[in-house]
Amino acid sequence: MSPNPVTFVLFEVAGTTYAVNSADVQHIDMLEQVTLVPNANPAVDGVVFSRGQVIPALNLRSRFGFPRTQPTIRTRIIFVKVQNRVVGLVVDSAREFRNMSKDTMRAIEETLTGVNGNYLKAAATVGDRLVLLLDLDKVLNLEAIEPQALELPHTQALPPLAAQPKSDQISPLYAHAKIT
């Protein structure tokens, strides 16, 4: 191992192991109460209250395009601070700190061909596991969502409204109202 290893927090999302630099991690908690926020980005579950702060909770399954799942006892929220902004990353599990030397890390372009690498800095090997190192600046940039993620599913046109009731007929919706 090189003389200056870097410590990372390893976590899982959809069966893949990812890592963030432990210097960016403030703390890790079990996922408990998430308060929904109207008109939030689809990847944002809502906000959580942690250590006296209201913090947005970003679901990494959703952010990476994987289907959402119900939280389990292993689900964690990793609170990271990037550019003076604290965000909670909702992950499937997080339980490992690992020192990794720079010589075990390869730039994502060198390691995985045909992968866009939008959110990835590098790939590393830890024992027999492949670990993908996240680029938190890109993960947290919610404005850079691909257009297809924002498209609404195709819908059919609504049928025309039914004819209005004649004056001597009363719509069932208004049957309880008195007409004077």
pLDDT in tens, 92-144: 999 899 999 888 888 876 555 444 557 889 999 888 889 999 999 989 887 75
Domain CATH number, residue 53: 2.40.50.180
pTM across the whole model? 0.74
pLDDT tens track for 143-164? 755 443 434 444 444 455 555 4
The answer to the question of residue 80 being in a domain is yes
Lowest mean pLDDT of 13-17, 150-154, 166-170, 172-176, name the range.
Answer: 150-154
The answer to the question of residue 168 being in a domain is no
36-51 mean pLDDT:
93
pLDDT band at 85 (very low <50, low <70, confident <90, very high): very high
The answer to the question of residue 158 being in a domain is no
Tell me: pLDDT of 46 over 90: yes
The answer to the question of residue 180 being in a domain is no
Q: What confidence score (pLDDT) does residue 107 get? A: 84
The answer to the question of residue 173 being in a domain is no
The answer to the question of residue 169 being in a domain is no
The answer to the question of residue 44 being in a domain is yes
pLDDT tens track for 1-31? 456 789 999 999 999 999 999 999 999 999 9
Q: What confidence score (pLDDT) does residue 125 get? A: 87
Number of structural domains (the chain) is 1
The answer to the question of residue 47 being in a domain is yes
Q: What confidence score (pLDDT) does residue 5 get? A: 87
Residue in 30, 13, 111 with CA at minimum distance from that of residue 64: 13
How far, CA to CA in Å, does 42 sit from each of 46, 63, 109, 143, 156?
Answer: 10, 8, 28, 12, 23
The CA distance from 90 to 131, in Å, is 18
Domain extent, residue 99, equals 6-150
